[in-house]
Structure 1
Amino acid sequence: MRPFAALYLWMIIAGVATTALSVALPLIVQRVVDGPVLHGDERGLLLLGLVALALGLVEALLIFIRRWVQANSALRMETAMRDDLYRHLQSLSVSFHDGWQSGQLLSRATSDLSVIRRFLSFGLIFLVLNTATAVVVVVLLFRLYWPLALVVTASAVPLFWFSQQFTRRYNAAARRMQDQQGDLATVAEESAGGIRLIKAFGRRDHMAERFTGYARQLHDTAVGKSRMVARTWAKFDAVPNATLAVVLVGGALAVARDRMTVGELVAFVSLQIMLIWPIDALGHIIANAQEAMTAADRFYEVIDTPPDIADRRGATPLEPTAVRGAVRFDNVRFAYPDAPTEVLRGVNLDVRPGETLAIAGVTGSGKSTLVSLVPRLIDADSGRVLIDGVDIRDVTLASLRTVVAVAFEEPILFSMSVRENLTLGRPDATDADIEEALDVVQADFVRDLPWGLATRVGEQGLSLSGGQRQRLALARAVLSRPKVLVLDDPLSALDVHTEALVERALTRVLAGTTAIIVVHRPSTVALADRVAFLRDGVIAGVGTHSELLATNRDYAAVLSATEVPA
């Protein structure tokens, strides 16, 4: 925070100096009118003119310095806040992201922080400087002629009333508009991501109408806000101008009765005119402040959310070379928020070091939930998951995720090169390591891409087929050389021929690696040394594929894709 504090200090110094020079100019004008002008002293008039010119040039320089510092410091602060928000989002659990619309998070990281930056670079500093200017000017007005100064001061009463009415209504409109911006961003993002589905079902017009509906809501709210600002600004503008008319008439009468000099009247009017801009800007500053407060509330809704999954106090790192890979689920229970029943209801299961264990069960039995516990994508509500006898919540997340690698059924690729996608879990991988991983998963297609490993795969990897994406995701998991490999039905998008090739290659890779594989097809079960059958949130049987087929008719029904008997 020290760089920001130093910048703001220079900004305040420049602002105060600028205000002092602005206030000094009307006083110089008073001296000119009551001195050289009144007495016809051309030399004195020239001297005071040069002083006024010099002060004006210095004021212009100080305004430049203040504006530059304002913009620089606000942009740096916006960047720091955006970085903090992104890092915090990365630390939050999967369940948090499942419960939030991506567009709402995006709007907080972009438009909301821009609103805060605009207030910091304009509204805040001008609020401080305009307040200081108003106080100094009113004091000087009282010194020049107190009856008219009372009139100017009294004009603050309707201004205060207008601002109170405006603030209450504008705050609600600002929050509504920022929420609607998030909703609109969500619709746009979902439409872009689901464009294939929209075209396949011929729902382009429907989605366009849906988008237009959200856009119309945002438009109406924005127009209402603008109308509210325009009305209030007009009121703020009318008050100082009406006051100025009273001052001109009253001042002229005071000069006629020798209660003020002409120079004092000119200085008084010049100082009062200096109040018009701060008062005119008051409506905009209040509106900007309300938007910034709403944006800050939305920002802190996210930043104040504590991570559900984090390192415990005293957590120690795992040493990858010392990990054998024994995995144990000890009476594990888990339920999703607001779910009527538990998904896992006391799972007990041991996976031996170097063993490949398949997890089978009907859809919704908790297979993916169970394997998600191993890399701590979620945490058990009760019970423990242990690696080599150590509770995984007692080791650091960073070290755990260097030991455990995951490949999901739905492959996730980023808008970056093939190489960058593959090396996410192992940035130091060599070309030879990458080639070996690609050979294992039969991803020869990479060599035929326009720029090979340097080819960008596009957002979500949609420039590739489903099978190609799945093979790259599997290669990424293999490349990290984990001690524990979690595969959530990683071969579902492969054709029969490619699946057979990948399975044979995986048999070599899995030798010496503890692997837990979620399976739905008998062909994938062939990779496993043993199979655990999950039913109704508990392990209903463990054994080889042949043993379970002979002893567990529910398992046989699942693997033969028939209905499980009640």
Structure 2
Amino acid sequence: MQQALTALRKARHSWWGRLPLVATLAGDLRTARELLPLISGLKRALPVAVVLGLLSSVIDSCAVSLMVLIVFKGISSDFPLPDAGLIGELASFAEAAAQKSPVVLWGTVIGIALVRALVAGAYSVLSAHLTNSIHHRTRLSLFEKFMALPYQDLARTDYGTMTNALQVESWYVAEVVRSLCGLMIAVCSLVVYLVIVFFISWPLGILAMILGGGLRWLCAGLKQPLRRMGFEATRTNEELALRMYTRMQAIRTIRAHGFEKAEVAQFEGLSREVAGVFTRMALVENYLRPLNDVSILVVMAALCFFSAAMGDSLAITATVIALMYRLQPHLGRIDGALLTLVKSQGPLAAVLKQLRAPDMRDDAMEDLSLHSPWQTLRFEKVSFAYEHEPVLVNLSFELKRGSVLAIRGLSGAGKSTLVSMLLKLLKPASGRITIDAQDFMRVKREQWLSGVAAAGQDFELMDGTLAENLMLGRDIAEEELQTALRLAEIDDFVMKLPEGLQTRVGEKGIRLSGGQRQRIVLARALAAHPDLLILDEAASAVSIDMERKIYGNIRRARPGITLIVVTHRELPEGLADEVFEV
């Protein structure tokens, strides 16, 4: 592949390098190089699939030639057959088998057909396995990338783009790899058929190459509109996915204001636009595909006339025509592969853009491990800004292990930004955060977060059961979940539910009240048994008395826990060891 890339890169500046087909293949090979990490574990299976596909073509071409000769001998036993070249060899084999017994002859033909069917079946199964494996790996890579995107980049990436990439565009990656393999097999099959035609009659082989190549070149330029449509389809699909996601999230607000008809009308317009793009793509494809049939008929007619003019035997002419006819499906696969590659460039570009984006896994600065429980966390003149809008300026405070620190401030003062820094989601623009005199930003994120849990206004519930939300992918015993629910003063409510912990909470916990959602999120944090518990407006939707009771439960059950309480209102008396104003 690297050699092919080099050759195509040099050819790009020549006159033939500007041809649509060469430009398309050069771009696709460059893309294929970027896809290599996704197929790294399938390097053995891919060559096997190519060999199986090619072997199927070789067997098929030999079977076709043999069948033509058998038909001619069946018409007349005195029919003259060539005695030289490939046709002569096959004719000798057919005559020898027929002299022994017709059963042997037809048994040979049936055996070849069965072998070809077995090889073709094996290729189809392996091809399906490869396609689904690559689709799975692409989805997984995209999901891992989204999970590891820097927090600020994630905030700038709309959910429509992410959802469309995972659900729709990831499939195009598998289709591109499948099409490249299919293209390779089809081109090799084309070479095999042409070589056989050359052995039968080299003038007919040259004519077939000239006519076929010229017609394919004319058709290649007609595929370029599909590339533009592919990018347009990606854009409209992302817009539609984003509208679906955001409107389903805001359905309560929409219905409360009576905006249903307006939203349906806007959705209809976007959906109609998407349908229009794909209809135009189908229209172009369906007009291009018949050109393959027309071109093969033109080549076959020309071969007939040329063969007759050269005085070739009817057996040679019929065999070449039969081979060219059997070549038609392979030419169709080449066309189909090229069409897929062209129209997939938009979705593929979107997927590769996501996969190229740097993420937190690339952060080489996180190289420190904490070898003992930390004692002091310190902010030293820390500042931060969103899009040049200052949020925190020269912030300094100290947190001792086992203490309770209350952070108070008005809305927009930067309290949640401070929490995001403690969770290693954001980095200070200036200043320094230290933990036991070490650079906090260099501490390995996974190790730090293994002892930290957070609850509050920006920590949402997922659309799942209460148990799924409380465990969040962890293996936690039900007794531990019940204990966490009791500390958050929500156990009585859960016990009264008909399905208990298996009750579904809806999107972002819509089936629960605000206070119930807050306490479930708090229980989730407590179930992790953290050393440091961060509560960001975690009790703003419950009464002061309930808040006091919850904090009392936590202090009694977890006396050594370090607690950061972020709030805009007065805390229960005696809760905090220190109050810091932002």
- TM-score exceeds 0.5: yes
Looking at structure 1, the residues matched to 280 and 478 of structure 2 have their Cα atoms a distance apart, in angstroms, of: 59
2:172: which partner in 1?
115
Q: Structure 1 residue 489: deviation in Å?
A: 0.8
In the alignment, structure 1 residue 248 sits paired with structure 2 residue 304? yes
Q: 2-side partners of 1:524 and 1:238: how far apart?
A: 84
Aligned residue for 2:64? 26
How far does the alpha carbon of each residue in 1:376-421 deviate from its partner, in whole angstroms, 9 at most, with x for none?
0211122222233332222211111122221121441123332332
1:188 counterpart letter in structure 2: M
Change (3 A) 1:212 1:36: closer
Superposed CA offset, 1:3-60 (max 9, x none): 5223223322321221111111233245436666553479449344332222111111
The 1:82/1:309 distance shift into structure 2, 3 A limit, reads closer
Q: Deviations over 1:483-528 (max 9, x none)?
A: 2221111112224443343244345467533322221122468632
Map of 1:288 onto structure 2: 340
Structure 2 partner of 1:14: 52
* Map of 1:468 onto structure 2: 516
How many angstroms apart in 1 are the aligned matches of 2:68 and 2:500?
78
Once the two structures are overlaid, the 10-residue window that deviates more, 463-472 or 493-502, is 493-502
* Equivalent residue number for residue 154 of structure 2: 97
One-letter code aligned to 1:11: A
Match of 2:84 in 1: none
2:410 corresponds, among 362, 367, 381, to 362
Match of 1:73 among 123, 130, 140: 130
Alpha carbons 1:94, 1:377 under 8 Å: kept: yes
SS in 1 for 2:389: coil
Query: Equivalent residue for 1:83?
Result: 140
Indicate whether 1:224 and 2:280 are aligned. Answer: yes
SS at the partner of 1:376? coil
1:512-523, aligned counterparts within 5 Å?
512-523=560-571
- The residue number in structure 2 matching 1:125 is 181
The corresponding residue for 1:374 is: 422
- Equivalent AA in structure 2 for residue 332 of structure 1: V
**CA distance, structure 2, for counterparts of residue 402 and residue 128 of structure 1:** 49
**In structure 2, what is the equivalent of residue 181 of structure 1?**
237
SS class of match (2:277): helix
**2 CA distance for matches of 1:312 and 1:113?**
28
| Match among 430, 434, 453 for residue 405 of structure 1 | 453
**Structure 1's 525 and 371: CA in aligned 2 closer, same or farther, altered over 3 A?**
farther
* Distance 1:378-1:525 versus aligned 2 partners, 3 A rule: farther
RMSD: 2.6
Deviation at 1:472, TM superposition (A): 0.9
Distance (Å, rounded) in 1 between the aligned partners of 2:138 and 2:572: 47
> Counterpart of 2:312?
260
- What corresponds to 1:136 in structure 2? 192
> Whole-Å Cα distance in 2 between the matches of residues 107 and 308 of structure 1?
23
Shift of residue 200 of structure 1?
Answer: 0.8
1:312-331 CA distance string (max 9 Å, x none): 45723335x6233x221112
Does the aligned pair in 1 maintain the 2:160–2:242 contact within 8 Å?
yes
Partner of residue 332 from structure 1, selected from 375, 382, 404: 382
Shift in Å at residue 171 of structure 1?
1.4
Measure the CA separation in 2 of the matches of 1:434 and 1:385: 34
Instruction: Return the offset for 1:460.
Output: 2.2
Note the 1:467-506 alignment, pairs <5 A.
Answer: 467-506=515-554
How far residue 431 of structure 1 moved from its aligned partner, in angstroms, is: 4.1
Q: Does 1:446 align with 2:487?
A: no
Q: CA deviation at 1:281?
A: 3.4
* More displaced 10-residue stretch of structure 1: 451-460 or 360-369: 451-460
1:359, distance to aligned residue in structure 2 (A): 1.9
Q: 1:212 aligns with which of 268, 273, 280?
A: 268
Q: How does 1:149-188 map to 2 (within 5 A)?
A: 149-188=205-244
Matched-pair identity in %: 24
**Secondary structure at 2:540 match in 1:** coil
Deviations 1:413-465 (A, max 9, x none): 1233323322338x454444333322222112111122322333333222221
Q: 1:429 to 1:153 in 2, by over 3 A?
A: closer
User: Residue 375 of structure 1: CA displacement?
Assistant: 1.3
Which sections of structure 2, spanning at least 5 residues, go unmatched?
Answer: 1-38, 79-94
CA contact (8 A) 1:332 1:346 kept: yes
User: Partners of 1:480 and 1:43 in 2: how far apart?
Assistant: 80
Pair 251,48 (structure 1): closer, same or farther in 2 beyond 3 Å: farther
- The yes-or-no answer on 1:342 pairing with 2:399 is no
Is the 2:150–2:425 Cα contact (8 Å) retained in structure 1? yes
Do 1:392 and 1:400's aligned partners in 2 also have CA atoms closer than 8 Å?
A: no
CA distance in 2, matches of 1:134, 1:311: 49
Change (3 A) 1:195 1:180: same
Contact 1:371 1:516 in 2 (8 A): no
Correspondence 1:527 to 2:578: no
| Mapped partners of 1:438, 1:313: distance in 2 | 38
CA contact (8 A) 1:410 1:470 kept: no
1:435 aligns with 482
In 2, Cα distance between the equivalents of 1:347 and 1:2?
Answer: 47
Q: Is the 8 A contact 2:58 2:192 kept in 1?
A: no
Contact 2:230/2:344 (8 A) holds in 1: no
- Distance, in Å, in 2 between the alignment partners of 1:382 and 1:2 is 41
Confirm or deny: 8 A CA contact 2:230 2:345 kept in the other structure: no
Distance verdict in 2 for CA 1:310–1:404, change over 3 Å: farther
Which residue matches 1:556? none
Q: Matches of 1:524 and 1:409 in 2, distance apart? A: 19
| Structure 1 stretches lacking a partner, 5+ long | 535-566
Cα distance between partner residues in 2 of 1:421 and 1:96 = 25
Shift of 1:116: 2.4
1:328 partner SS: strand
Shift of 1:127: 1.1
Distance 1:33 1:432, change over 3 A: closer
Contact 2:533 2:562 in 1 (8 A): yes
Aligned to 1:457: 505
CA distance in 2, matches of 1:2, 1:480: 37
What residue is the counterpart of 2:330 in the other structure?
Answer: 278
Partners of 1:81 and 1:525 in 2: how far apart? 53
Residues 516-555 of structure 1: pairs in structure 2 closer than 5 A:
516-523=564-571, 527-534=575-582
Distance between the aligned counterparts of 1:361 and 1:314, measured in 2? 31
Count of paired positions: 524
